[in-house]
Amino acid sequence: MAKRGGYGGGMMPGNMNNLMKQAQKMQRQMEEKQKELEEKIWEATSGGGAVKVRVSGQKEIVGIEIAPEVVDPDDVEMLQDLIMTAANEALRTMEAESAEMMNEIAGGIGGLGGFGGLF
């Protein structure tokens, strides 16, 4: 007859300490990467470089450059489209790189064991 109750084996106390240390290390790495990302600037252009937009990791536009030749008072819509296109591309690039950096850190947690693939 099988014995019931008690600690059925799984994760030993020493493994739990290692897990906690690894989790703390990962948290520190994520905080460092987050700070790095917040300070980084991404740039994108549209109209063959006629409009350049820079965004921060805090999702703020920090700069816009517009070539004088695309400023046409009779075609304001084109200029608006160029600005919007460059801004959206800069934000997409920032989001993709941020996600990739965080996934690299989180990917390391898969080897911690004991959770049956939860991580």
Give residue-wise pLDDT tens across range 45-96: 999 999 999 999 889 999 999 999 999 999 999 999 999 999 999 999 999 9
What pLDDT is recorded for position 27? 86
Q: Which two tokens stand for residue 65?
A: 């450059």
Name the strands in the sheet holding 41-46, side by side, starting at the edge strand that comes first in the sequence: 41-46, 51-56, 61-66
> What pLDDT, on a 0 to 100 scale, did the predictor assign at position 9?
52
- Tell me the C-alpha distance between 111 and 91, whole Å: 32
104/34 Cα distance (integer angstroms): 13
Q: Which amino acid is at 15?
A: N
Three-state DSSP at 110 gives helix
Residue 89 one-letter amino acid? E
- C-alpha angle with apex 75: 64 to 48, nearest 5 degrees? 50
* Residue 72: HSE in the Cβ half-sphere, 13 Å Cα cutoff: 10
